[in-house]
């Protein structure tokens, strides 16, 4: 796959988990959903026929990834190491066809689908997080059930990204050539005014993309708040293209991304996901927070006015609109004056 979908969740009240073998021995039983007319047949079935099972397959060994410090004064070196474990969640679920020609419920083996959903558990700052790698909301829900009550649905504030951060990224790309600091640069960026469509319904709606970001600029200058953004960002270790929303759910474009770090044997997908969640998303947020007051109070108003003028000029040029045509229009003229 060239597009990798990932959602992040906090594992509640856990400071370490990847060595917890008991956790990965859990099995969740999901009762087969059926119409009331099938109740009598279902009551006669064995439990193994009435339930679908969600379970963990044998986890990969614990591994480690070195990441840069979020803060220059951060010590010791061990704090820059992420421990992680990749585990596949095997999910049983029903096919659409559940009865035979005789209207009787099929044997489970004849109405059974199986999906293997990749997950990555990692430890950071005495907390445990899980990445669930699926774009299918039904599979996402099923993996959550397997994780159980320890999954914190409220998320983690560190991974909440504000609309102002997205606006600031557009500003930095336009006004400062995308340079975030001495070694992190935005190479390309696009805001999304609507929602973004993918094949699995985590993000739905339509996206607006133009080479000059005109629609995004119009949206921002009119006071709109971006809640999702697409960008390609580069630093010393990666050149990565991804979509991210306000909950840090991402779509990673593997075809347009690469790791630059030498002598690292991790596959690109695992490396880039852990690098994004373990470092880059949080680092970009920290850079924004350091300058957010100045941006919101000083730079944003001027930038909003500037891009508003650009949008008006672009519309007038593309539609061959003359200024006097606007002033002569009773409905538009009042805004000019």
Q: For the chain, which ranges sit under pLDDT 50?
A: 75-78, 193-212, 333, 335-337
Query: Cα–Cα distance between 128 and 226 in angstroms, integer?
Result: 29
| Residue 190 confidence (pLDDT) | 81
Structure tokens at 141: 């829900």
DSSP SS3 for 272: helix
Please enumerate in sequence order all residues whose Cβ is within 8 A of that of 82, keeping only pairs 6 or more positions apart, or say none: 64, 65, 66, 67, 122, 123, 124, 274, 278
Classify 322 as helix, strand or coil: coil
If phi > 0 it is left, if psi is from -120 to 50 it is alpha, else beta; for residue 106 that is beta
pLDDT digits (tens, 9 = 90+) for 162-202: 999 999 999 999 899 999 999 999 998 887 544 444 433 33
* Sequence-ordered list of residues with C-beta below 8 angstroms from that of 247, at least 6 positions apart, any chain: 7, 8, 155, 159, 160, 161
pTM to 2 decimals? Answer: 0.85
CB atoms within 10 A of CB 82: 20
Task: Give φ, ψ of 288 to 5 degrees.
Answer: -65, -45
Q: Count CB atoms within 10 A of the CB of residue 217.
A: 23
Please give the Cα distance from 108 to 45 (Å, whole number): 10
The H or E element containing residue 129 is: strand 127-133
- Under DSSP, the state recorded for 136 is B
How many CB atoms are closer than 10 A to CB 163?
Answer: 16
Q: Which helix (H) or strand (E) holds 83?
A: strand 81-94
Q: What are phi and psi of 64, to 5 degrees?
A: -135, 150
Residue 173, helix vs strand vs coil: helix
Q: Residue 32: what pLDDT?
A: 78
Over residues 196-206, the pLDDT tens digits come to: 444 333 333 33
Block residue for tokens 């679908």: 52
Q: For residues 161 and 181, what is the distance between their CA atoms, to the nearest angstrom?
A: 19
d(CA 135, CA 150) in angstroms, rounded, equals: 22
Residue 230 near residue 242, CB atoms below 8 Å: yes
Q: DSSP character for 299?
A: I
Two structure tokens written together for 301: 């108003």
Q: How many CB atoms lie within 10 A of CB 152?
A: 18
């Amino acid at each position: 796959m060239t597009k990798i979908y990932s959602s992040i969740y906090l594992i509640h009240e856990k400071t370490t988990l990847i060595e917890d073998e008991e956790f990965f021995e859990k099995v969740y039983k999901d009762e087969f959903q059926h119409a009331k007319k099938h109740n009598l047949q279902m009551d006669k079935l064995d439990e193994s026929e009435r339930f679908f099972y969600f379970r963990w397959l044998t986890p990969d060994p614990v591994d480690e990834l070195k990441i840069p410090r979020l803060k220059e004064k951060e010590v010791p070196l061990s704090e820059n190491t992420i421990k992680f474990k990749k585990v596949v969640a095997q999910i049983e679920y029903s096919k659409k066809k559940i009865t035979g020609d005789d209207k009787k419920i099929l044997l489970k083996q004849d109405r059974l689908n199986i999906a293997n959903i990749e997950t990555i558990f990692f430890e950071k700052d005495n907390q445990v997080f899980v990445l669930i790698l699926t774009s299918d909301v039904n599979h996402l829900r099923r993996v959550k059930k397997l994780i159980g009550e320890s999954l914190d649905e409220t998320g983690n504030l560190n991974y909440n990204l504000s609309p102002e951060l997205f606006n600031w990224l557009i500003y930095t790309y336009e006004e400062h050539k995308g340079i975030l600091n001495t070694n992190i640069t935005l190479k390309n960026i696009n805001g999304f005014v609507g929602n973004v469509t993918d094949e699995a319904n985590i993000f739905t709606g339509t996206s607006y993309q133009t080479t000059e970001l005109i629609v995004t600029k119009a949206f921002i200058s009119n006071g709109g708040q971006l809640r999702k953004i697409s960008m390609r960002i580069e630093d010393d270790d990666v050149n990565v293209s991804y979509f991210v929303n306000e909950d840090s759910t991402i779509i990673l474009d593997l075809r347009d991304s690469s790791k630059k770090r030498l002598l690292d044997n991790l596959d690109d997908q695992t490396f880039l996901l852990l690098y994004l969640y373990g470092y880059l998303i949080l680092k970009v947020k920290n850079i924004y927070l350091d300058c957010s007051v100045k941006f919101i109070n000083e730079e944003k108003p001027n930038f909003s006015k500037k891009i508003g003028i650009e949008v008006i000029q672009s519309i007038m040029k593309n539609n061959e609109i003359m200024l006097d045509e606007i002033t002569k229009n009773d409905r538009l003229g009042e805004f000019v004056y």
